[in-house]
Amino acid sequence: MRTLYFDSFSGISGDMVLGGLIDLGLPLDSLKEELAKLPLKGYQLSMQEVTRASLRGIKFEVKITESQQERSPAEIRQIINASRLSPDVKAKAMEMFDRLISIESKLHRVPPEKLHLHEVGAVDSLIDLIGALIGFQKLGIEEFVSSPLQVGRGWVRCQHGNLPVPAPATAELLRGIPIYSTGIKGELVTPTGALIISSLVKEFQPLPPMKVEKVGYGAGSRDYKEHPNLLRLFLGEREKAIEAAEERVVVMETNIDDTNPQILGYLMEVMLEKGVLDVSYTPIMMKKNRPGTMLSVILPPHLKEEIAALIFRETTTLGVRYYITNRITLQREYISVDTRYGPITVKVARRGEEVLSYAPEYEECKRIAEERGVPLKEVQMSAIKSYLDNRERKKPKG
C-alpha cells in the first residue's frame, strides 16, 4: 500500500506539506494547473530550495497579489463546488472545511452562517489545503501515518489577538492525537496543518516498516539556529505483515459492584466511539461476597488519560489499574462482495498470503435481514458463498 509518513519533529503547516510533496516529485506546474480549476484570483505560487539549521528543504509560497476579503462558510463552499477539481478532492475538501466550521462555531459561540474564517479562509490557506489534497492524489497515496506532533510554545498573533500555542482551533483539531513540546518558541502546528493531519491520519506511531522510495523535506517560514524547521515526508510501500503485526497497547481494568448495568452498556458504546480497541465485562465475586463486574479495556497508549477520566466520570469506581503490553494481530482486509441481497463487506484475516478466517460484517447482514424479512443466516451464507466464489476465480489455473 502506497504510504506517506509525516515525520513531524518540527510540527506541520500547509506550506510545509506542499514543500515536502514537491520535494517528493510533485511537479509545481501540475499543481498550478490543478489549482487553476478553483475560482480564485490574486495569487502566485513559487518554490525555492532553502536551508533550515543547515538542512535543505523546499519552501512553498503563496504570494497574494490582490487585496482579499474575509470569507463566510457559504462562500468557501461555493468556491469548492464551483471548481473543476476531481470529485474526490472536492468531497474531501468540503468535509474538512465543514469540520473546521463546526469547531470555529463552537469556540466563538457564533452560528456557522455568521462565521468569518480569517486564517483558514484566506487564499493562501485554501491553496495550501486543497493543494495538499491534489498532491496526495497525484502521488497516488493510499495511506497516511504520522509521528506525534511537536506543537511549540508561547503565543501566536492572529485576527482575534494574541492566543496561546497551540491556538484554540488547532487544539480542538488535535483532540485524540499525541502531541508534545520540547520548548521551541512559536506556533509549530498551524490550523491548516492540524486539519490535514487530523482528517487523514489514522495511525500515530514511530516510522512503520515500509520500503521507502523517496524522502522529502518541506520548509517552514522560520529558521531556528539549533532546530531544523522542516517537515520530513517518507513516501513508499508499506510492508504488509508477513506473519502478524505487533503493537504496544494499554490494558485498563477496574472492579465495579454498585453501578447501574445500563450505564455500563452506555460506557462501552462511548469508549468504542472514542477509539478503544476492545471492551469487555467479566462477572466476578468481590469482597464481602458481593457479585461485581470487572471492566477491561484495551486501548492505544495515547488514549490512556481520556479513557481513565471517562471511567471515573461515568462509574462509581475510585480507581483504575493499567499496564502496558504488546499484542499481536493478524492482517485484516475488508472486501465488498456482490450478493443476491446487494453488496456486503467481508472481513478477512490473513497471515502473510494465508487466509485464516473470514466473516461477513454482522451489522450489514442484520440490516439487510431486517429490511428484506429474511433469516440472518441466509444473508451471512450468501456473503460467504460470494466471497469463496470470488477467491476461487482469482486462483491461478493449472
Q: Are residues 30 and 13 in the same domain?
A: yes
Q: What is the pTM assigned to this prediction?
A: 0.62
Q: What is the pLDDT of residues 1-14, one digit of tens each?
A: 899 999 999 999 99
Q: Are residues 158 and 22 in the same domain?
A: yes
Q: Are residues 358 and 341 in the same domain?
A: yes
DSSP type of residue 289: G
Domain CATH number, residue 345: 3.10.20.300
Q: Are residues 197 and 285 in the same domain?
A: no
Q: Are residues 173 and 293 in the same domain?
A: no
Q: Are residues 295 and 337 in the same domain?
A: no
Q: Are residues 283 and 165 in the same domain?
A: no
Q: Are residues 262 and 230 in the same domain?
A: no
> What is the percentage of the chain residues whose pLDDT exceeds 90?
68
Last residue in a domain, options 280, 301, 329: 329
Last residue in a domain, options 238, 255, 279: 238
Average pLDDT over all residues of the chain: 90
Q: Is the pLDDT of residue 51 over 60?
A: yes
Q: Are residues 42 and 23 in the same domain?
A: yes
Q: What is the pLDDT of residues 201-251, one digit of tens each?
A: 988 989 988 899 999 999 999 999 889 999 999 999 986 544 556 788 999
Confidence of residue 107 (pLDDT cuts 50, 70, 90): confident
Give how many domains the chain has, as a whole number. Answer: 3
Q: Are residues 316 and 224 in the same domain?
A: no
Locate 90 and state its grid cell: 472536492
Q: Which residues contact 364 (CB under 8 A, 6 or more apart)?
A: 344, 345
List strands edge to edge, sheet with 230-238: 43-52, 55-64, 210-219, 230-238, 2-7, 143-146, 203-204
Q: What is the pLDDT of residues 156-174, one digit of tens each?
A: 887 667 889 898 889 999 9
Residue ranges making up the domain that contains 115 = 2-238
pLDDT at position 241, please?
Answer: 46
pLDDT at position 242, please?
Answer: 45
Q: Are residues 322 and 336 in the same domain?
A: no
Q: 27: burial class by Cβ within 10 Å (0-12, 13-18, 19+)?
A: exposed
Last residue in a domain, options 294, 329, 364: 329
